[in-house]
Amino acid sequence: MIGLTALMAASAACSAPPAGAAELIGKTLDQAEKTVTKSQSLAIYDLSNSITGDAAEYTGMAPGSLYTVVVACSGTRVFDPTRQVALGIIKNAAFTGDVQAKAVAGDFNSLMAECAAGD
């Protein structure tokens, strides 16, 4: 999996997560992966650097229970877990009330091209 350490450029305005994706916000990566097991592909981005300034360390080898989902999308306005699913994660300790509120509002969606488009 990929660790995202740089802010991805996106021109789309922030918007709430797609319908259905919001239920993944705040879940551990392990929990979220169980929801999307039927997806064609799963991309996981460590957004720690962009959100908290911490180093992005997720490599796919660390337990998913150590990370919390802050962005979830499938490239569509309505979340479709049978398509390519993209999850943005940060370390559990960094998932504060402020971060949770911003995640639920969709403030971090523009950090991932798959989520900024929302076609």
Closest to 101 in 3D by CA, of 41, 35, 51: 51
What tokens appear for 71 in the block?
A: 């962005």
List, for residues 45-90, the tens digit of each pLDDT value.
Answer: 999 999 999 999 999 898 999 999 999 887 666 566 566 788 999 9
**13 — phi, psi (to 5°)?**
-75, 155
Please state, rounded to an integer, the average pLDDT across all residues of the chain: 78
Tell me the domain boundaries of the chain: 2-117
pTM of the shown model? 0.78
**101 — phi, psi (to 5°)?**
-60, -45
